[in-house]
Structure 1
Amino acid sequence: MKKLLLFFLLSSSTAYAQRNFIIDETVFGPSKFAPKTIFGMQWTKNTDQFTHLDATYQNLVSRNAKDKWSENVIANTKDLKSALEKVIIDDKYSLKSFPYNYEWLDEDNIKFQIAGEKNRFDISYNIKAKSAKILKTLPSGLENTEESTHTAYLIGNNIEILTTAGEKIQVTKDTVDGIVNGSSNTHRQEFGIHKGMWWSPNGKNLLYYRKDETMVTKYPLPQWDTRIATIKNTRYPMAGMKSEEVTLIVFNTETKSYTTLKTAEPKEQYLTSVTWDPSNEFVYAGVLNRGQDHLKLNQYNAHTGDFVKTLFEEKSKTWVEPQHELTFLPNNTTQFLYQTDKEGYNQLYLYNTNGKLIKHLGYNDIIVEDFKGFNSNGTKAYYVGVTNKGLERHLYAVELKSGKTTQLTKTNGVHNATISPNGNYTLDQFSNLTTPYKVQIINNKDGQTKSIFEASNPFEGQINMPKIEFKEFISPDSKTPLNARITYPINFDSSKKYPVMVYLYGGSHAQMITDRWLGGVGYFDLYMAQNGYIVFTLDNRGSDARGRDFTRVTHRQLGEAEIADQLVGFDYLKSLPYVDKENMGIFGWSYGGFMTTSLMTKHNSTFKAGVAGGPVMDWKYYEVMYGERYMDTPQENPEGYKKTSLLDKADRLKGNLLIIHGAQDPVVVQQHSMDFVEQCIKNGIQVDYFLYPTHEHNVRGKDRIHMYDKIAKYFDIHLKK
């Protein structure tokens, strides 16, 4: 009886232990309640075997198809520590678990990095011999490293190289404010730019960006951390104003000579898709005009800098947006893959180095999102592609010769998968709306699957979780499907009425709704749903992962098609009997702040309250690279800029609007919101304003909890009866 009573008490306490999120968990919840995962999954070389860390993170385990994927411990942290003690003598380091960022060098050896107090070590470890070897030693604290035979890194705005012999070579010595070398922050990281230096395949030549922004206007950012406030200037090229001038330079580590690629005039152009030829003789660069509607893929002689030829050109009535470097075939160094959406969807095109198109490797309307590489003999390429109207991601294999494409993952959801070296198996990780995380092996010959790991629901028995549901609408053009998501209040009762919070972004290169765990919903959305709100989000035209035409409809008129699509969703909400249409709120950040303010002014009868974070209020204040792609310059498109500006529409503001801005914002400068507030004052319109003095474009860390608490309370004050 005592055992039965104890079981009853435990069961009762468990049943009533479920709770809602506290406000702190809107920020720290994603890590606190993350589904359990498997770390360090890697295929070994030339086998049908893969490895990963076990649940303790102390052991490296192997799974092989021949023994039905059962676990076999092949290495452990204890043995690894013993091996490292023999090779790292004069430095202190910490190794609390087996390194998950390892990679296989061959069937017996792995490679990984470990950081000491003085140095960072590249280590190889022989699994069978249990022995370690230092492959490279670098001083700790090097920033923006680019590694090959030698290592290049940045010191401020200059480049230095540390050779394998320990020699330091100062590549650049610029001291002029506004001259920046080797930085990934070139062209403000648009056009897929993620690095500013590239080693040649033989490791002898370093190609790098040299950015001259001395002619770009300095924009003042007040700093509040001293008794007398100071000014930190950032170079900010606003739409229609003078932009930076960029060149590409090759530094030869043997001769210490410099060669500037002759990318020609005008100086205000964008250099993208930078790629070395496998021969080390040439460099390829996409030269995009400032108007961003004409791209030339050019070849240059790496030794003389001379222009060799234009392989092909790409033009558009809207914009051309290169996002990727060239990918050369492993077994044919005269052929490469190029990605473009010129025919509607970002797909693979096989070219040769003469510029001849050999094969369009696209498949239906699938968008290539993540190129995964080639099979061992270089006859197939693999990529993760977007499908099902943008909701899902799947792994595809394409035969380079025939173009035949096969979808390798089938379960609905968002997949991140890799292929075994011989192509026999797919190691598949995925989630969907109701599946937190699952790992499975797929036999590529017969399609049979074997589950390796499936995470449990991390909220089970702890958190009251709202119902999340996908919706689909048709845009006002009567032909374009739009994805939406509704998160319902806890204990939803359709006979009651609930206030609404719309959360939106609406801009390019972002997608809010995918068929991943929880449907991509954020923890603040969940928090608001738990506190009695219907939370609604819709991906309008102009957002990501739906193809060229879905995006280009916004050209020269940002906010028009996007708002028209959002209104379709709002009309649906207002038609629902359980929606309190008199108490609807809207919240968005950055582009979403622009959308929020646009809706609170241009369609001012829909929302009773809104929160606009870091909002663009006038596109003429935004930077050149992003702004001119969509709007052209203010000189070229004065009507478009006037129509999208919110500064002359402040008098239309109705309802309660809270504007939040970071005082150090270098992306959407504070001038946007300050000028809008000034217009509200002049028109006798009340508006609420809150500044985060030490933050940039996003409010981060513990202060983000403060921000979410403020937003939640703002909606509670104005939307709850």
Structure 2
Amino acid sequence: MKKLLVIFLLSSSVAYGQRNFTIDETVMGPGKFAPKSIYGAKWVSNMDAFSSLDSTFQNLIAREASNNWQTKQLASSNDIKQALSSLIPDEKFNLRTFPTDYQWIDSDNISFRANGQKKSYGIQYNLGTKQAKIAYALPLDAESEELSDKLIQTAYLNGNNIEIINAAGDVIQVTRDTIDGIVNGNPATHRNEFGIDKGMWWSPDNKQLLYYRKDESMVSNYPLPQWDTRVATIKDIRYPMAGMKSEEVTLNIYNTDSKQFVQLQTGEPKEQYLTMVTWDPSGNFVYVGVLNRGQDHLKVNQYDAKSGALVKTLFEEQNTTWVEPQNPLIFLPNNNKHFLYQTDKDGYNQLYLYDTQGKLIRHLGFQDVIVTDFQGFDAKGTKAYYIGATNKGMERHLFEVDLKNGKTNQLTQVNGVHNASISNSGKYILDQYSNLTTPNNLQVIDAKSKKVSSVLTAPNPFAGKINLPKIEFKNFTSPDGKTQLNARITYPVNFDPTKKYPVMVYLYGGSHAQMVTDRWLGGVGYFDMYMAQNGYIVFTLDNRGSDARGFDFTRVTHRNLGEAEMADQMVGIDYLKSQSYVDKDNMGMFGWSFGGFMTSSFMTKHNDIFKAAVAGGPVMDWKYYEIMYGERYMDTPQENPEGYEKSSMLNKADRLNGHLLIIHGAQDPVVVQQHSMDFVEKCIEAGKQVDYFLYPTHEHNVSGKDRIHMYDKIAKYFDLYLKK
């Protein structure tokens, strides 16, 4: 059942001058000890050259294939400052570095954002003439700006309404809703589930703005107490809990020429999810994924942009568990009738080539590779590129697929997690990667000859400074006897297998997250290393239900959150308990959010294992969680009362054993404080002691210097109960 996958021992010898992390460095360390890197690396438009910022962040440099990838300066932050001063002399800019958000327009021009004291500007800058021009100017408080092609018009949000500023500087107010609960153009539609990260889309001709209109006026207000005044006040948020009334969303089009509106006729019921929003390249149609509230039936529909009428349903996807669209359609650059669609319906999230009649032309998947990041097409539009998860989710690599025959090639080979892209010509690959033993390497690969040109080999940033613990990958077999589970152990510095050590199990366990990958240090967190330096064995396992492992790996949790996940975690826990160096009487667990739910579940359902635990922002009863996420995995409380009963902590407080510290943000809009407060009340009723700490001004995550305070509290809590 248990197999050793890879073992690598990071040096744990204590050389002169080396030390352990301070508690501050559990938060500040990732910036302080980040491996050397190259920032802002981008392929230059239509050239076999890439640009980046230099080590001072003051200069934009380029490396060209024709010059054997040697550096050449293109522009400096002083050049930018002078150009802006000449262009807008009455404005003040705080440009301490070269603009890190720069983008290539063509091989001579870049664009970037510059915030002044009066307005926020979109700037185009010519590298040859060193002249700048204003592409757009927005109010400083403008949000979610959506730029049209060639920056002809820019849409943005002013509160809950949409405004457009055109090339002449004229402002057009698109929506004028004043009713509380009516929200236009906001990317937070459907609570950002289903891959939604924007709320407005310009048509290909830049004349029509498609946008979400969300009506959440019928959704329950949820009160968040505010403590910043002498008499506390209440901030209400709209929070649709599982099984209760949900928001109603429509998609609308505003024509900037005619000033007319069109609403897409997405039909009934009103409580449905509209995602995968994509303009047809012709601008005549809009494609929308219409997903029912039960999230088990998806229709990919085509709508007429002029009338809003449904033209046809291209195809449908149904499942007895859930269907989860995550990406818009991607039209081929050389064929406006063909597009790529991503789905995991056949086992793994992969690409499928369809035509606009809804006919499947070709499955473009490769083995069990999971597409995690689509990278685009080559110049001819005959090949596509994507980053894919491989090796049971442990690695990420760049792949090339031929759209005509589906032939797929893996373009990066060294084990690890690669962030790679290909030049427009398809000749070169810019590849940045790390693995357990490699802090960061950046190289250029000749796609044809496979010749590698090294650009950067980062040294170990801890060498001679910090005592690094020993880190080890392991894999186990899940209780179903057929699924590999990836895990990571971080050992105490100067680990002695003849001694016994307390344990901290750190876990998450929920969807769309993966804790263990073959990246630098195995993805271990700085707090984990801090605890290992202070004498703890730290263990993390990715159970079924977590990310990058395919359909079966995720769907096993349906309607029973926490059950398969705990069974998988128990495999790793049993392994730990079998080791002679583990002090099985002094084991602890720490998790946040879904990890807090898992931690609370262990302390009540498997209450004889952990002596102490910390649950941060924990879900205590899924009926208090929001609709979009909660109903996907659990259905509604009305449909699945047994599952909600089984997963709830509120009816199991009497089983609490050991020392449990609950931490919560008082302003948490994700896992509302009611979860932990109700559990505390149930503990009081059951005569069970529980420790509780509240961060008054924080939301779902505790950040900034307060996070240092939090980690200090957690470390001391474990020291109090687990160290003899």
Bin for the TM-score computed over the shorter chain: over 0.9
> Helix, strand or coil: the match of 1:666?
coil
Gaps of 5+ in 2: 1-13
1:92 aligns with 2:95: no
Q: For 1:94-141, what per-residue CA distance to the aligned partner results, in whole angstroms no more than 9, with x for missing partners?
A: 333333322222222222222222223333333233333333333333
Aligned to 1:589: 592
1:227 aligns with 2:230: yes
CA distance, structure 2, for counterparts of residue 207 and residue 242 of structure 1: 26
CA pair 491-203 structure 1, distance change in 2 beyond 3 A: same
Aligned to 1:83: 83
User: Residue 493 of structure 1: CA displacement?
Assistant: 0.6
Aligned to 2:8: none
CA distance, structure 2, for counterparts of residue 80 and residue 679 of structure 1: 61
Aligned to 2:123: 123
CA distance, structure 1, for counterparts of residue 419 and residue 91 of structure 2: 38
Aligned to 1:54: 54
User: Residue 15 of structure 1: CA displacement?
Assistant: 4.5
CA distance, structure 2, for counterparts of residue 87 and residue 221 of structure 1: 46
**Which of 498, 503, 508 is the aligned partner of 1:500?**
503
CA distance, structure 2, for counterparts of residue 536 and residue 151 of structure 1: 49
Kindly provide the amino acid, as one letter, of the partner of residue 398 in structure 2: L
1:304 aligns with 2:318: no
Aligned to 1:197: 200
Q: For 1:322-366, what per-residue CA distance to the aligned partner results, in whole angstroms no more than 9, with x for missing partners?
A: 001111111111111111101011111111111111111100000
Residue correspondence of structure 1 range 502-541 to structure 2 within 5 A: 502-541=505-544
CA distance, structure 2, for counterparts of residue 103 and residue 238 of structure 1: 41
User: Residue 40 of structure 1: CA displacement?
Assistant: 2.1
**Which of 455, 459, 480 is the aligned partner of 1:456?**
459
1:578 aligns with 2:593: no
Greater length-normalized contact order (CA 8 Å, ≥ 6 residues apart): 2
Aligned to 2:240: 237
> Helix, strand or coil: the match of 1:160?
strand
CA distance, structure 2, for counterparts of residue 437 and residue 157 of structure 1: 43
Aligned to 2:163: 160
User: Residue 206 of structure 1: CA displacement?
Assistant: 0.9
Q: For 1:17-49, what per-residue CA distance to the aligned partner results, in whole angstroms no more than 9, with x for missing partners?
A: 211111111111111111121122122222222
CA distance, structure 1, for counterparts of residue 218 and residue 584 of structure 2: 51
User: Residue 67 of structure 1: CA displacement?
Assistant: 2.6
CA distance, structure 2, for counterparts of residue 59 and residue 173 of structure 1: 44
TM-score (norm 1): 0.96
CA distance, structure 1, for counterparts of residue 41 and residue 647 of structure 2: 48
Contact 2:135 2:167 in 1 (8 A): no
Aligned to 1:413: 416
**Aligned pairs, how many?**
708
Aligned to 2:5: none
1:355 aligns with 2:385: no
Kindly provide the amino acid, as one letter, of the partner of residue 560 in structure 1: E
> Which range moves more in the overlay, 330-339 or 79-88?
79-88
Aligned to 1:138: 138
Q: For 1:390-422, what per-residue CA distance to the aligned partner results, in whole angstroms no more than 9, with x for missing partners?
A: 010000011111111111111111111111111
User: Residue 82 of structure 1: CA displacement?
Assistant: 3.5
> Helix, strand or coil: the match of 2:290?
strand
1:485 aligns with 2:463: no
Aligned to 2:347: 344
CA distance, structure 2, for counterparts of residue 576 and residue 453 of structure 1: 41
User: Residue 476 of structure 1: CA displacement?
Assistant: 0.3
1:109 aligns with 2:109: yes
> Which range moves more in the overlay, 691-700 or 338-347?
691-700
1:386 aligns with 2:386: no
- Report sequence identity in percent: 71
User: Residue 624 of structure 1: CA displacement?
Assistant: 0.7
User: Residue 175 of structure 1: CA displacement?
Assistant: 1.3
Kindly provide the amino acid, as one letter, of the partner of residue 102 in structure 1: Y
TM-score (norm 2): 0.96
**Which of 212, 217, 224 is the aligned partner of 1:214?**
217
Q: For 1:452-481, what per-residue CA distance to the aligned partner results, in whole angstroms no more than 9, with x for missing partners?
A: 111111111111111111110000000100
CA distance, structure 2, for counterparts of residue 579 and residue 156 of structure 1: 55
CA distance, structure 2, for counterparts of residue 532 and residue 70 of structure 1: 46
CA distance, structure 1, for counterparts of residue 60 and residue 82 of structure 2: 16
User: Residue 58 of structure 1: CA displacement?
Assistant: 2.9
User: Residue 548 of structure 1: CA displacement?
Assistant: 0.8
1:268 aligns with 2:271: yes
Q: For 1:183-238, what per-residue CA distance to the aligned partner results, in whole angstroms no more than 9, with x for missing partners?
A: 11111111011111111111111111111111111111111222222221111111
User: Residue 53 of structure 1: CA displacement?
Assistant: 2.1
1:677 aligns with 2:649: no
Kindly provide the amino acid, as one letter, of the partner of residue 508 in structure 1: S
CA distance, structure 2, for counterparts of residue 94 and residue 657 of structure 1: 47
Contact 2:617 2:665 in 1 (8 A): yes
CA pair 128-166 structure 1, distance change in 2 beyond 3 A: closer
CA distance, structure 1, for counterparts of residue 102 and residue 698 of structure 2: 35
Aligned to 2:176: 173
CA pair 78-700 structure 1, distance change in 2 beyond 3 A: closer
CA pair 673-58 structure 1, distance change in 2 beyond 3 A: closer
Aligned to 1:4: none
> Helix, strand or coil: the match of 2:254?
strand
Q: For 1:151-194, what per-residue CA distance to the aligned partner results, in whole angstroms no more than 9, with x for missing partners?
A: 11112111111122222221111111111111111111110111
Residue correspondence of structure 1 range 627-638 to structure 2 within 5 A: 627-638=630-641
User: Residue 638 of structure 1: CA displacement?
Assistant: 1.0
Residue correspondence of structure 1 range 313-352 to structure 2 within 5 A: 313-352=316-355
Aligned to 2:253: 250
User: Residue 383 of structure 1: CA displacement?
Assistant: 0.4
CA distance, structure 2, for counterparts of residue 81 and residue 230 of structure 1: 44
CA distance, structure 2, for counterparts of residue 502 and residue 658 of structure 1: 15
